Chains A and B, each alone.
Chain A
Amino acid sequence: MKKMLLVVVALMLTIGLAACGSKDNGTNNKGTNEGAQTNNSQGSGNTGGEELSGSILAVGSTALQPLVDQASKKFMEEHKNVNILVQGGGSGTGLTQVSDGQAQIGNSDIFAEEKFVDADAPKAKELVDHQVAVVAMATVVNKDVAVDNLTKDQLVQIFTGKVTNWKEVGGQDEKITIVNRPASSGTRKTFEKYALGTKTEDLQGSIQEDSSGTVKKLVSETPGAIGYLAFSYLDDSVKTVKYEGVEAKEETVIDGSYPVWAYQHMYTKGEPDAAMKAFLEFMVSDTVQNGDVVELGYIPVNKMQVKRDVDGNVTK
């Protein structure tokens, strides 16, 4: 009897709280944001010794998630009043949510301008780009493939289906199996843009997987398979091939001779508030750049000897 009453009350409370909670959240977030922003503008004259506070939601790219997650934990240890929540969901989700104001930071593998096209283009202008790391991708093949180097042309021919047998590009007589990413994936866009220089279509019989782990497993087990992986996933189970004679490794990415890489972006809507600013500065500080970034297989963004803009123009 009493138990029943308790259950009913609990149920009503949870429903009520859930309903109010979602409403409150929005206003709350706005409140803290505005508060922090005014703080920031007032405190800009001072040295800003006040304690940082606020809650930050960082959503997006699963490629960037481990780094932001690890760095945020370190940041929260230093600043007890700042609460950072890191979620995955893909670059598209990250950019949408930061643009709609649901998240404070949107993690993305690609420039917002590349994702927000046509009617959505003005949305990209509101976002502020913070580049925190570089991820480079290598072409990988199954170990039985007797090819060490592929030129841009050969890659284009393979990924557009013009070449379907390894013997046409100097290997053994074996059918090529393409292990691709879905057309909307940031990794695929990076690979197509900087390695192939052209968009490709999904071929009959090609395989598409979204997780790097599955791609690696399939390439390592399927005879004659070809795919591409971020550097952090490379190991002995797959064979890494050179691109235009350039070995895929950190040094060649840093000096600009290996082109297949992309910035990892953390987007904010408008200028970030004090706590977010401190966190984004922490992301590019030496502690994170030389520590977590290297540790997790990314390339530090401040080491790069070349810069690249949205259109792919590279400057030294």
Chain B
Amino acid sequence: MDQWAVKQDGNNKQSLTRKPSKQHIREEWVGRIFTTLCILFLIVTIVAMVYFVASRGLSTFFKNGVSIGDLLTGLKWAPEGEPALFGALPFIFGSFSTSLLAALIAAPLGCCAAIFMTQIMPGAGRRYMQPVIELLAGIPSVVYGFVGLSVIVPMLRNIFPGQGIGIAAGSLVLSVMILPTITTIATDALASLPSGLKEGSFALGATRWQTIYRIVIPTTLPALLTGVVLGMSRAFGEALAVQMVIGNAPHIPRSLFESASTLTSVITLSMGNTITGSAHNNALWSLALILLMMTFVFVFIVRFLERRNKR
């Protein structure tokens, strides 16, 4: 310990006495300009995107005269009907129920995988299991959709009443898709746990399970929840895979196995068929705006959890 400190001191002295060379100054400036440019670019992009979605999404209310209440609580979506009705509640319901269910399925799986990889078999777990789970993140969503359509939907149709298509199929597909997010964040949180906590628990005579569920999980809970919330927000924004297996009927379903819609599936399904600037098109942008707002809420929750974690 002492040696290390001395070494550090020596280094500090050296760097303090030595004048920074020209090369150093130049590198410093280049780095600064580079990062500033990147940040500026990023800020402009984000502001432009929020502005674009908001301006289009809000014109439904200001230009087309649809009331916000009708859009948020209306049960009937008939944009091509006479009169045109824009009730988005079925989609909001669909989005929330699929992503919540997906999180419910994926959270225990992901957290248990993380505990296995960090507490129970760190060697084999991290070497083999983590890459395999991370691989799931790289699979294109159309593949998930197709697998869902070919495997999960027929399976659900055979076991349960109904067509197999619906919220259950959607959340099953989504739960696999968000598994890497939850697992990776949970693994990082568990691995960064100070080893003294665990050692102290063992020293008091606690078994491994007692340590895990009395010490490890409660301490890392905010971080685990962060992973779950991030997974949920990914599930909330996923479009293609869900669109293929959920059925997309604009109604609140009567069971988990009946056709339903999410915000994203309605947007992807109709956007290309509508005229820019028409009421229908603007209404789709309003749905996008709701999605954006929800993302903000998710980010806010994650921030809140992180702050609790640090305290």
Contacts and interface: CB of A to CB of B under 8 A. Distances in A.
Interface of A: 1, 4-5, 7-8, 11-12, 15, 62, 88-93, 95-96, 100, 115-116, 120, 177, 182-186, 199, 201-210, 214, 217-218, 221-222
A183 B80 contact: yes
B165 A207 contact: yes
Contacts of B251: 202, 204-205
Contacts of A204: 249, 251, 253-254, 258-259
B34 interface: yes
B81 interface: yes
Contacts of A100: 276
Interface stretch (B91-99, B194-202, B209-217, B264-272): B264-272
A217 B163 CA distance: 13
Interface stretch (B22-30, B170-178, B302-310): B22-30
B31 A206 contact: no
Interface string B242-279: 01100111110110001100000000111111111110
Contacts, number: 119
A264 to B, nearest CB: 15
A243 B210 CA distance: 70
A186 B79 CA distance: 15
A63 to B, nearest CB: 11
B249 A92 contact: no
B66 to A, nearest CB: 15
Given A1-B30, A96-B275, A201 B78 contact: yes
Contact of A182 (B259, B273, B276, B277): B273
Contact of B272 (A12, A92, A208): A92
B280 interface: yes
Given A91-B272, A222-B165, 7 more contacts: A4-B34, A8-B37, A90-B272, A96-B277, A202-B249, A205-B254, A218-B165
A214 B157 contact: no
B62 interface: no
B154 interface: yes
Contacts of A93: 272, 276
Interface string B262-300: 000000111111111110110000000000000000000
Interface size class of B (residues with CB under 8 A): 35 or more
Contacts of B253: 204-205
B37 A11 contact: yes
* Residue among B154, B269, B277 having the largest count of chain A Cβ atoms under 10 Å: B269
Contacts of B4: none
Given A7-B34, A183-B270, A120 B247 contact: no
A217 B81 CA distance: 29
B275 A4 contact: no
A1 B31 CA distance: 9
Nearest to B77: A202
Given A1-B27, A7-B34, A116 B275 contact: yes
Interface in B124-168: 149-150, 153-154, 157, 163-165
A183 B281 CA distance: 13
Nearest to A183: B80
A202 B41 CA distance: 44
Contacts of B77: 202
Contacts of B271: 90
B98 to A, nearest CB: 16
Given A92-B274, A183-B80, A205-B259, A210 B269 contact: yes
B269 A182 contact: yes
A11 B34 CA distance: 9
Given A1-B27, A183-B78, A184-B280, A91 B273 contact: yes
Contact of B244 (A1, A89, A95, A214): A214
B163 A222 contact: yes
B33 interface: yes
B149 to A, nearest CB: 6
Contacts of A91: 272-273
A208 B271 CA distance: 14
A96 B276 contact: yes
A5 B30 contact: yes
B80 A199 contact: yes
Given A8-B30, A92-B274, A209 B163 contact: no
Given A177-B163, A182-B269, A184-B280, A207 B30 contact: no
Given A89-B272, A184-B270, A206 B259 contact: yes
A11 B30 CA distance: 13
Contacts of A210: 243, 268-269
A83 B109 CA distance: 52
**CB-CB nearest 5 A-B residue pairs:** A90-B272, A184-B273, A208-B248, A96-B276, A207-B247
Given A7-B34, A184-B79, A209-B244, A203 B273 contact: no
5 contacts: A1-B23, A7-B34, A8-B37, A92-B274, A210-B269
Interface string B77-93: 11111000000000000
A120 B244 CA distance: 32
A8 B275 contact: no
A207 B78 contact: no
A15 B276 CA distance: 27
